[in-house]
Structure 1
Amino acid sequence: MTDTGKFNIFSMTGKMKILHYSWFAFFITFMVWFNFAPLLQAVKESLGLTTAEIKTLLILNVAFTIPARVIIGMLTDKYGPRIVYSALLAICSIPCFMFAFADSFVQAAIARFALGLIGAGFVVGIRLVSEWFPHNELGTAEGIYGGWGNFGSAAAAFTLPTVAVMFGGEDGWRYAMAITGAMSLIFSYIFYINVTDTPKGATYFKPKNLGAMEVTSKGDFFLLLLMKLPMYGALALLAWKLSPSGVSMLSSEMVNGIYVLLTLIYCYEISQAWKVNKTVFKEPVPEIHQYKFKQVAILNVLYFATFGSELAVVSMLPLFFSDTFELTPVMAGMVASAYAFMNLMSRPGGGWISDKFGRKPTLLILTAGLAAGYFLMGQVDGSWPVWLAVAAAMACSFFVQSGEGAVFATVPLIKRRMTGQIAGMTGAYGNVGAVCYLTILSLVDYSTFFYVIAATAVLGFVTLLMMEEPSGQIAEINEDGSVTMIDVAKS
């Protein structure tokens, strides 16, 4: 049962209250997660870091989020969003304070890596919002949650340099970062006392097993194992970046150890997936309980191209504008934040269009626009007027963020009790994309970087042709064995 009251954005009761608390929790996680990019120059000078070390911190910032989103998704399905989000906000204030008071590259690197955990907060709210809103409002609600929360990165870009200047001195950046940590700690308590997992009288469906994602056919079992590989690949790529071949933060022995560890964890994941899903090899799953894992796989690829590129571009855009147009760091930060600024309208817009015109057609149009937008960004050089380059970046970001909204308008319609796990995997693919794109950026020039993203968007468009529009209802089993049918589309 979802809350069927009116969708009124100015209301602070019922489902709207939950939506507002959810997006604000997500907003804070993004503010903490991206408090580094706008203060990058100050941190570099204060700690005496090289450009290579700064780029390493940017990559470390998104590294841990890959496994974290999968794990947090599972914990959310098991323990409920209220407890998981509150705990995440409280725990992540610790590495935030650690980074604010770091005085060496190693301390900063460890804190930044740990802060990747807060990037997993997004997944929690996806499940929470899906519990409170009916299918015909779900895209819009998830879009507002994602878009307004995502704006935390732009808010950090706008406000933190000013806060740092207000505190003055070369330690101003430390105060600015510590304030975001304090916000996270305080709001964890506010969220805990104000939110419930479901509307009154509704059932919170939990997965049968926490060990691995459930699938409902033999083919899907192998597809699941295949879709896990890029996550390990991205983590291996990160290890390589930190090796003597990259920035020499880790020795060859340590990096080889990481490769072995990743291989062992993957083997363990295979065994867990087998334990949870071996019954599909003995007898078919009743049709009423089946879902198609290819839907998840396609959304993973699309989120790789949309959110993966957004994360990478938000991290590099201030640098791109200052290098291309010789702007001051503050000016470049303001101009670059126009890209993230679009989140306020674009992501809810993508969700709303999905609710009105269907999930698949919306995704097809937005993915095509995404490819065209990044192709245009690849053309930008110093001969362009700055305003035109900013307009191109904003047009591109509209398609990127609307695409993200449309992806997560679809995620909760696949299998309700596994929404956290599915959102976790799809969300993790966004980070896999970011790691891949940021690594490519460290090897090529800016225009090639934009063309590579455009090419992956074209690939996303091709896979999207195989997607099926969500229809009818999904079945979930209550604890007493009775079945509840949940609408996912107009019947």
Structure 2
Amino acid sequence: MSASNLKFLSFSGNSRILHLSWMAFFISFVVWFNHAPLLVSIKETLGLTDQQIKTLLILNVALTIPARIVVGMLVDKYGPKIMYSMLLGISSMLCFFFAIADSFEQMALARFLLGFVGAGFVIGIRMISEWFPAKQVGLAEGIYGGWGNFGSAAAAMSLPTIALMFGGDEGWRYAVALTGFIALVYAFIYYNSVSDTPKGSTYFKPKKSGAMEVTSKGDFLLLILMTIPMYGALGLLAWKLSPNGVSLLSESVTMMIYGGLVLLFLYQLYHIYQVNKSIFHTPVPEIHRYKFKQVAVLNMAYLATFGSELAVVSMLPLFFSETFNITVVQAGLLASGFAFMNLVSRPTGGYFSDKLGRKLTLTICLAGLAVGYFVMGLITPEWFIVLAVLATMCCSFFVQAGEGAVFAVVPLVQRRLTGQIAGMAGAYGNVGALLFLTVLSVVSAQLFFWVIAATALVTLVIVQFMDEPRGQMAEVLPDGTVQMIDVH
């Protein structure tokens, strides 16, 4: 792999893998959010209530938290080529299921299962890390994440028009089914067009599967500690769907889910111990150690960056509409600037991480988004709309550049665990979104923005404990020899 400048306009070598992978991510995001711009039509066709629509939005992100963890493990074990192809193929079937649903219960199940497609992100993170050297990986991951993430905005812009082209009250069904068909076709294209590594390179796999490997007793405890919030977030989701929330689930079913989450957590603890029990009697050689605190810091940074983006994108149109007394369509167009920034800001965050340093870039981004959200909390009806939109887009830039900066570090922690590390960080992004949206349900929009700003400041302090990736990391080849991989 050459460390020369990334040839973005080329369609050969690692640039070809980058383009094929961001397109796979783009399609997965179109599928994941294909319902959002069509909700008005869906609501009218099936006679759904406002509460049922809100429930569909919640269910759409519910499965993504565990899915990113599980898919992260599977991609490390089986490779991104087969995993991305399978994910797109399975999600296409779920798309068709959603398109033909004729009751709220069927739609709710389909949307819950489609949360699985949100795990596609972590597959490409591992693929890009295999094809690009450390000096380019930040920019490459930023392009992959930023351009792929744009799939949700593309869905919002194109699917209502496609539904109108098919015509009738059922036009939305054909638009949704079309996204499923595209995903199915691309699953075959991707499988036949990529390989997991460049020719002659080794795809390093975890020594054991079932849980993330750690290399010290302290890291073992930290891994358990960082696992708890993900189960807590799923418990919070169950609460929102219970009689105390939107009443989709009965009290007895909710209690069963709580019990199931406790059992799953204990099962996960068992696997964490089984995978890592050797560290309690045999110290890991220094050359093979990595610091799990790096993963913990990245988790928190992604909670503050991507978590806040998901939450703010969900509420921003309504916020603009109510603050400035404008139509929902106008507010949606103004709020779309937040998502549009992804095309530039994520790659920019990755680029500066490669050039200025990973820790410094992440620090600057978190400081910028803390200030940005504080300013957004000051927006009132007296503001000029232009200034409010500019403040939003400036904040958005730092948020998404921060996401790029996080995933400029992820591939440089431990190569064979990259999928799992990306999966855990990605899951924390969804945990953050759920926490922030829960905060929004009980406080004003102003306080909501300031809570995110405060979270960013705390994370800014936490990031100072991250070590700048330097030198090399060691991986063991199948024949037992050790290969050193540059991380700067």
TM-score where L is the length of structure 1 = 0.97
| Distance change (3 Å), C-alpha of 1:364 and 1:397 | same
RMSD after superposition: 1.4
| Distance change (3 Å), C-alpha of 1:313 and 1:341 | same
Deviation at 1:3, TM superposition (A): 5.4
Secondary structure of 2:192's partner?
A: helix
Other-structure match for 1:83: 82
Other-structure match for 2:314: 315
Secondary structure of 1:372's partner?
A: helix
Deviation at 1:6, TM superposition (A): 5.2
Other-structure match for 2:126: 127
Runs in 1 of length 4+ with deviation above 6 angstroms?
none
Deviation at 1:375, TM superposition (A): 1.3
For the pair 1:451 / 2:450, whether they are aligned, the reply is yes
Other-structure match for 1:60: 59
Q: How does 1:137-216 map to 2 (within 5 A)?
A: 137-216=136-215
Q: For residues 157 and 387 of structure 1, what CA distance do their matches in structure 2 show?
A: 22
Work out whether residues 235 and 261 of structure 2, in 8 Å CA contact, stay in contact via their aligned partners in 1: yes
Secondary structure of 2:326's partner?
A: coil
Other-structure match for 2:232: 233
Q: How does 1:370-381 map to 2 (within 5 A)?
A: 370-381=369-380
What amino acid sits opposite 1:388 in the alignment? Answer: L
Secondary structure of 1:194's partner?
A: coil
| Distance change (3 Å), C-alpha of 1:141 and 1:95 | same
Q: How does 1:8-47 map to 2 (within 5 A)?
A: 8-47=7-46
Post-superposition Cα deviations, 1:108-140, rounded to whole Å, max 9, x if no partner, equal: 211111110000000000000000000000000
For the pair 1:331 / 2:330, whether they are aligned, the reply is yes
Q: Mind listing any 5+ residue stretches in structure 2 that lack a counterpart?
A: none
| Distance change (3 Å), C-alpha of 1:376 and 1:37 | farther
| Distance change (3 Å), C-alpha of 1:81 and 1:41 | same
Work out whether residues 3 and 135 of structure 2, in 8 Å CA contact, stay in contact via their aligned partners in 1: no
Other-structure match for 2:343: 344
Deviation at 1:145, TM superposition (A): 0.3
Secondary structure of 1:474's partner?
A: strand
Work out whether residues 157 and 333 of structure 1, in 8 Å CA contact, stay in contact via their aligned partners in 2: no
Secondary structure of 2:474's partner?
A: strand
| Distance change (3 Å), C-alpha of 1:53 and 1:324 | farther
Other-structure match for 1:441: 440
Q: Mind listing any 5+ residue stretches in structure 1 that lack a counterpart?
A: none
| Distance change (3 Å), C-alpha of 1:318 and 1:166 | farther
Other-structure match for 1:93: 92
Q: For residues 361 and 213 of structure 1, what CA distance do their matches in structure 2 show?
A: 27
Question: Alignment length, in residue pairs?
Answer: 488
Work out whether residues 158 and 337 of structure 1, in 8 Å CA contact, stay in contact via their aligned partners in 2: no
Q: How does 1:258-277 map to 2 (within 5 A)?
A: 258-277=257-276
Q: Which moved more, 1:136-145 or 1:92-101?
A: 92-101
Work out whether residues 32 and 118 of structure 2, in 8 Å CA contact, stay in contact via their aligned partners in 1: yes
Q: For residues 119 and 138 of structure 1, what CA distance do their matches in structure 2 show?
A: 22
Other-structure match for 1:278: 277
Q: Which moved more, 1:100-109 or 1:321-330?
A: 321-330
Aligned-residue identity in percent: 64
Q: For residues 366 and 74 of structure 1, what CA distance do their matches in structure 2 show?
A: 29
Q: For residues 173 and 248 of structure 1, what CA distance do their matches in structure 2 show?
A: 27
Q: For residues 196 and 394 of structure 2, what CA distance do their matches in structure 1 show?
A: 37
Work out whether residues 3 and 14 of structure 1, in 8 Å CA contact, stay in contact via their aligned partners in 2: no
Q: For residues 392 and 160 of structure 1, what CA distance do their matches in structure 2 show?
A: 29
Post-superposition Cα deviations, 1:36-83, rounded to whole Å, max 9, x if no partner, equal: 222233323333222222222111111100000000011000000000
Q: Which moved more, 1:166-175 or 1:347-356?
A: 166-175
| Distance change (3 Å), C-alpha of 1:403 and 1:49 | same
Post-superposition Cα deviations, 1:438-480, rounded to whole Å, max 9, x if no partner, equal: 2222222322221221111111111111111111000000010
Post-superposition Cα deviations, 1:146-199, rounded to whole Å, max 9, x if no partner, equal: 000011111112212222233333323222222211111111111010010000
Q: For residues 334 and 173 of structure 1, what CA distance do their matches in structure 2 show?
A: 21
Work out whether residues 136 and 355 of structure 1, in 8 Å CA contact, stay in contact via their aligned partners in 2: yes
Q: For residues 286 and 292 of structure 2, what CA distance do their matches in structure 1 show?
A: 14
Secondary structure of 1:485's partner?
A: strand
